[in-house]
Structure 1
Amino acid sequence: MARYYDEVGVRIIEFTEPDKRNPVGTNEFQVFEEALNTAVDNKEINAVLIRSEGPTFCAGNRKSEFVTDWPQAMHGHAFRFFKALHECELPIVAAVQGGAVGGGATMLLHCDMVIMSEKAYLQYPFIQLGVVPEGASTRLLLEKLGLQRAMDILLMGRRVGADEAVSLGLASQVVDQDELENAVKQRLDILTQNPREAMIQTKNLVKQSLNNGIAPLMEQEIQLIGHLIEKQQADDGSNAFETTFGNKS
């Protein structure tokens, strides 16, 4: 489950299912979409914070929903979730205290600042699950890392530790676990004092070159994921999400 609420100058979106390692699925897609799409209309909000309860940031897509909710419509909940992340005009800060896997990792590619604890890691195990990456991550990782490093991460499905994530440009800062909250607060304190319109226009300028082609790529990913899941089910009556890398939900 997820929820959102506002504190002084900040819209906070939280994963609230730590016993299941904070999966992302239909509920979370809807909460994020609403929270992000309405934040910019609230003139009191200068920034968005994404965080989660418990030791895991987000273990990826809700396993049970790959059986019940896929394939999805091209412009279904998953697509609108990533589209809202990509198009949000306000600065997005993520506080990552633990594992960010699958969708938990791809969503971070759309954040403007990612602060990780030394215990956190990223992992993109899509190929091991028999599907393709989501959230335009193939393009975003290529642009950030270059071909060989992007393919190493995607083909191997390996964990990328916090220090490596910072060195690769996938995160902004790594801090001790007990310093994470303070490090995030320091950044939010500045963002809430910054002139709002200047931040919005700066983010729009910075992301201009990224905008072309992102939505069509996301649509293609959703179609391919649905096709590959259907193929797995047709081949053996199940799919890899039932046994591999899955969260507990």
Structure 2
Amino acid sequence: MTETLRIEDDGAVRTLVFARPEAANAFDEELYHAAARALRDAASDGGVSVVLLTGEGRAFTAGTDIKEMAEIARDHAAGRSDQEMGSGFVALVDALAGFPKPLMAAVNGAGVGLGITMLGHCDVVLIAEHARLMAPFAAMGVVPEAAGSYLLPARMGHQHAALALFTGNWVTAEEAVRCGLALRAVPAEALLDEARGIAREIAAKPLASLVATKELILAPRREEVRRAREREDAAFARLLGEAGADGRIAARLG
């Protein structure tokens, strides 16, 4: 547990709570590494069968901390590419993409950027009725990440995903359910209880069977996810290196 991530166990269900409510649970390097480490620990813990992701306060997560992203863009534009910079993001996406057990999300509020793309790695998603999701990448002059360019069309259908990715418009909870990004919308006050109820039902099954089933689910898409991430990383780096990229990203702060 860290100051930015809270870990709660309920039998074989482990809940990871993004805990930077003052920053809409945006991911800085500390939270990236903490969440990645928590997922790796859960993967190797025989007492954990299901992991549930959620956020503290009013937001699920605002994605990557915009201030840090603008700083990375300035460094790229100036030719100062630090290999360690952004390593937490890579570690978290590695952990999400390869998580060997059932992974759930209870989207308690706004999910922006990684807050929507990480849902493609989740096996079951519940969303609060008031919650909204946004993929703001094009407006920021960059591209989707975390294999979102592959997983979102696969989950939502091409047209729904394309509209979300091209426009950066909000996706309501109702729309997320209708296109298959979420299983159901739930009143906010009942969200965690319902999500944990499903998680407990899953966790009651033999762990070996759950792990084997998850591997069968992951196997057909594992290589596609890897290739999508490589394409996204290359495009992201190229666009970050363009003049004015830091300004477009920093403009989101307003």
Letter in 2 for 1:220: R
Q: CA-to-partner distance for each residue in 1:28-84, whole Å, 9 max, x for gaps? A: 221121111121211101111111111111112101111334556499322221121
Distance 1:206 1:142 in 2: 17
Q: Shift of residue 182 of structure 1?
A: 1.5
CA contact (8 A) 1:108 1:114 kept: yes
Letter in 1 for 2:117: T
Counterpart contact for 2:13–2:48, Cα < 8 Å: yes
Q: Secondary structure at the match of 2:125?
A: strand
Query: Hey, what's the Cα distance between the residues in 1 that align with 2:52 and 2:245?
Result: 40
| Equivalent in the alignment of 2:31 | 28
1:216 matches 2:224: no
- Partners of 2:128 and 2:188 in 1: CA distance: 5
Q: Which residue of 2 aligns with 1:189?
A: 200
**1:10 corresponds to which of 9, 13, 24:** 13
Residue from 62, 82, 96 that aligns with 2:107: 96
Q: How many residues align?
A: 243
Q: Percent identity?
A: 28
1:121 aligns with 2:132: yes
Which of the residues 57, 60, 63 maps onto 2:60?
A: 57
Counterpart residue type for residue 48 of structure 1: V
Q: Contact 1:4 / 1:11 at 8 angstroms: preserved in 2?
A: no
Unaligned runs of 5+ in 2: 77-81
Paired residue type of 2:250: E
Give the TM-score normalised by structure 1. Answer: 0.90
Residue 76 of structure 1 pairs with residue 87 of structure 2: yes
Q: Is the 8 A contact 1:145 1:168 kept in 2?
A: yes
Q: Deviations over 1:167-188 (max 9, x none)?
A: 1110011111111122112112
**Distance in 2 between residues matched to 1:171 and 1:148, nearest whole Å:** 16
User: Does 207-216 or 66-75 show the bigger shift?
Assistant: 66-75
1:96-143 deviation line (CA, Å, top 9, x unaligned):
111101111111111111111101111101000000000111111222
State the TM-score, normalized to the length of structure 2.
Answer: 0.88
| Distance apart, 1:145 and its partner CA | 3.2
Question: What SS does the corresponding residue of 1:40 show, helix, strand or coil?
Answer: helix
Mapped partners of 1:237, 1:184: distance in 2: 39
User: Residue 44 of structure 2 corresponds to which residue in structure 1?
Assistant: 41
Q: Unmatched 5+ residue regions in structure 1? A: none
The answer to whether the 8 Å contact 1:17/1:23 transfers is yes
Instruction: Provide closer, same or farther for how the CA distance between residues 203 and 23 of structure 1 changes in structure 2, counting only shifts above 3 A.
Output: same
Q: Is the 8 A contact 1:24 1:104 kept in 2?
A: no
Using a 3 Å threshold, how does the CA distance of structure 1 residues 229 and 187 change in structure 2: closer, same or farther?
same
Q: Superposition RMSD on alpha carbons, in Å?
A: 2.0
